[in-house]
Structure formats: C-alpha cells, structure tokens
Chains A and B, each alone.
Chain A
Amino acid sequence: KNEVEQSPQNLTAQEGEFITINCSYSVGISALHWLQQHPGGGIVSLFMLSSGKKKHGRLIATINIQEKHSSLHITASHPRDSAVYICAVRVDRGSTLGRLYFGRGTQLTVWP
C-alpha cells in the first residue's frame, strides 16, 4: 500500500469549473507538497504546507493534519491547467530533512 493516496486518478472538466484533487496519507509528516507535472515531464512545486491553507492565484491548498488529508482546489479552471498534479509528503528523520513519498498523481484535463 502506498503511503500517499490521491483521488481521483483522472479528472476531466470544462473550462471554468471548480476542481478538487484529494490526497490522503498514512504516516506522520512534517510537510506536504503539491506538484504540477507538465506533459513533457518537468515538475513545478506549487505549494508546501504543514498546516492550514495557502492560496496562489487560482490555486488553493488545504491540509488537515489530524485527518491526514489535503486538498488542492483550482478555481475557474483553464485548459492550460491540464497537467498531472502530484501530492508528496515529507517524513522527517530525526534532525535532518527526511525523504519524500509521492502519490501516483491525478491527470487533469480541462476542455475549452
């Protein structure tokens, strides 16, 4: 079983729709990352959060540490948002920054 589970695996939306991608994890973490992977493979870090909520433009990320759950929301979705969105959690090892565990990603396709 993967330490990080994402849902849905695939998501199709019409331009303008509100999008939600969910991430659940089973381990204690120090931080959670939301990443965007473009069709060519390159990855961009969208958010790093350890509590509460962060907003950047049309993107909002929330995390509930007690429930071990995070959501990524996209408001007013656009075709250029089409990408794979990956949730990753950081598990610390003592005093050093620990390793990351990745979800399998959510393929988002936004149609015009």
Chain B
Amino acid sequence: GAVVSQHPSRVICKSGTSVKIECRSLDFQATTMFWYRQFPKQSLMLMATSNEGSKATYEQGVEKDKFLINHASLTLSTLTVTSAHPEDSSFYICSARDKLLPYTGELFFGEGSRLTVL
C-alpha cells in the first residue's frame, strides 16, 4: 500500500528556534499534501493544504509566516515552525493524495511528528 514517511518523529527544541518537519510519499507521487495539528485529547485540525509547485492554502487562524510550507516536488512537502514557542508544542501529522487517484478521497497518513518546545 501507499506509504507516507514523516521525519523527525520526535523533536525537542528551545524557544525561539525553527524546526523543519518533512513529509515524503515513498511509492507514489502526491500532488496534494495536508498538514494537521493535534493537541492532547483533541481532534486533528487541518492547518494547511499544500499543492506541488504552488503556495499553500492555510486554514483560518493559522499564521502562514509562522508555519512555512514548501511543496517543491511531487514526493516531498516540508513544514517549518519558525520561532517556535511552548504553545506550538503539539503533534503534527501530514497526509498525501496520490496523483493518480485525485478524486477517490483515499487518505495516506504519515507517522506524525511530536514537537516539544522548551
């Protein structure tokens, strides 16, 4: 089946630093990738939709200058949390849509990245 790899799985950083999280589709090309955030005991919340070769679309309330998304190729999207603060500590997870299956709605998720900002 389709595999989406996310890296790193865990990251601890100091307040004020930037952290980059990678999301790769390993055996398919992803025209669209989605970034979600999940706080403890809460639902997954969509942060942004990332389309290859174009600017990401951010959900209301998500700061695009703080959460930089780059989708430079059909197999890689990156989320950079800039000037991270403790309130950014959360579980970040990506999902990808297969280029060959654009309208099926099939979901392929990464393993997630747990960010802790000290």
**Which residue of chain B lies nearest to A43 when distances are taken between CB atoms in the complex?**
B109
Which interface class (under 10, 10 to 19, 20 to 34, 35 or more) fits A? Answer: 20 to 34
Q: Give the CA-CA distance A60 to B1 in the complex, in Å.
A: 20
- Say yes or no: B44 contacts A86, CB within 8 Å: yes
Would you call the interface of chain A mostly helix, strand, loop, or mixed? strand
Instruction: Write 30 A-B pairs (CB below 8 A) sorted by A numbering.
Output: A4-B43, A30-B105, A33-B105, A33-B107, A40-B111, A41-B9, A41-B91, A41-B93, A41-B111, A42-B111, A42-B112, A43-B93, A43-B112, A44-B109, A45-B108, A45-B109, A48-B105, A48-B106, A48-B107, A86-B44, A88-B44, A97-B97, A97-B103, A99-B49, A100-B34, A100-B107, A102-B44, A102-B45, A104-B42, A105-B43
Q: Give the CA-CA distance A103 to B112 in the complex, in Å.
A: 18
Interface size on B, residues (CB 8 A): 26
